A and B are shown apart, each in its own frame.
Chain A
Amino acid sequence: MTVDAPTTPRAPAEPAPRESHARRWRGPGWGFLAKLALMALVNAFGVMTLLSAFRVESWVVFSATLVLLLAADVVYFTRRSLPLKYLLPGLVFLLVFQVFIFGYTAYIAFTNYGTGHAGTQEQAVEAALIQGERRIEDSPTYPLSVVERVGELGFAVVDENGDVLVGSAEQPLEEARDAEVGSGGVPTEVPGWDVVPRTTVITDAELQEQIAGLRVAVSEDPNDGSIRTRDGSSGAVYESTLVWDAGAQTITDTTTGTVYTANDQGSFVAEDGSALPTGWYVNVGFENFFRLFTDPALAQTLLSVTVWTFAFATLSVVLPFALGLLLALIYNDARLKGRRFLRTLYILPYAFPAFMSALLFRGMFNAEFGVINDLFFFGANINWLGDPWLARAAVVWVNLWLTYPYYFLVCTGALQALPQDTLEAASIDGAGRTRQLRSIILPLVLVATAPLLISSFAFSFNNFTVIYMFNNGGPAIPGAPYALGATDILISAIYDISGVSGGAADYGLASALSILVFAVVGGISAIAFRQTRKLEEFQ
């Protein structure tokens, strides 16, 4: 093979030292100019991301961007690492949007991330204090102007001393030097900010809504409260009835005197057991994994989901393969005229987009109005989608329709590649047609298709689209938590549990289940790995 080309270093075509392509300038090289322009764009975007990550203090994004940007510049502006010049773009996407995501899934699986535990403790404290905010009785009102800076709204107020203070949702009040106060007593000019005219504030309903929701912290300490306004021309200090004590890790409700203490489950809990609605996420160790196996309602449902997943994946390989192989055997016959035409018609279901097929069958299997009951069962009212076993049969049927053409194509290819002389020799030796089929054709076809069968199994195992589009995994299993249904496979169960589509979210539990499915897929892949021995190709 040509791949096993020289491993010894090739003799340099030109005498060293050679300049890098990147720095060599031979007239107006379009390639070089294009690269320069692209790298300028990449650097601009990278620096922008760095600045913005720095501003919102997102250190993971900051460091990842920094590393990637440096790597890109080093790879494309030095003459080393030629292969990396070709690999880097794909590699960056692979690392960020696939490898990192796997790692992140594993991380989330060990936390209680979800509804009520969706941020850091700092964010949880802030959210709790905001929810408990009331206007302080007889607190002074300050003359106020609404100010704006590149899409960001803020307030400018005049305090008791006549000084102008300015701030926004992200930045607490601070003194604005050289600001001017107009005749109405409100700030009219604030350096660095545009004062929004009073008429605009009154007429723009959307702006009014934003202003009503805006709160500007008085200082860095969340206990000091914040400025809010009702009318856009005067502001008052709102303080939370809750007080945060960072040292003692407690939040005290000043109206009732209840003390909420931070616990290691990421919640603020009072002595009587009541808790504040906002918590933060913490590492919970293997708790999510234990819950999958020990929570009785969940474990039982998941067991049936798992069994069905294996059954669905197996049936989705065996039945279509059998049908496809049978059709391939029958129609791989030179005496038939119009084979190409027949083949095209046979594979039409495969060329029809899968998600639309599943939706189409969802309508066709409808119990009341569906065409299947109407035409093929003489108007009987068979509840295909509502009965667990009928729904399972129907979804296997749909998948059979969807995938048999794939195996038909693959098996036809394998049959046409069979060694003709072997078959001839067999027939001379007196082997009948069944004998040839059993002893020569089938083994050879199976050898050619076995790796495909294994990868199809792994694919069907996670075939979310067909299951979800056909019947949402329904009909629901009575008494099951998280709206799990009889045709749900593991991946659609994870979707239901995660709550990303609405409802209470439990990202931690969903990720823990994802990790287990990853392990199963990994196991299947290991078998495939050994079977296909693809590794041998690139030795």
Chain B
Amino acid sequence: MSNVPAELKYVNSHEWLRLESDGTVTIGITDHAQELLGDIVFVELPEVGAQLDAEATAGVVESVKAASDVYAPIAGEVVEVNVELEGSPELANTDPYGAAWFFRVKPANVADLEACLSAAEYTKEIGA
């Protein structure tokens, strides 16, 4: 059974979002996504400064089994990426909501978060 923390927001392409106190939004892939992918061996992250549209490709996650795009759940400017994750991609399997965050954006419109799924809605989406 996948872990879906109640305090986060989600999109149906299996990214999670967390609004930080400084107004930035941290983004990663969900526990359900890492379970589907299996052992993760490479992660490609966006460049700091990149302007991403909502649903634009923001990176790639490769597991032993498959390659999968990581999408920007909301529009915004990339302000930080998790360099540690590039060196230790397996963190995405072990700590998807913690050490394995992917990137942070300064949202174009913070209200976009409201349109994302709640934990309950995402849980229903994945049939967990």
Tell whether A pairs with B. no
A residues in contact (CB < 8 Å) with B: none
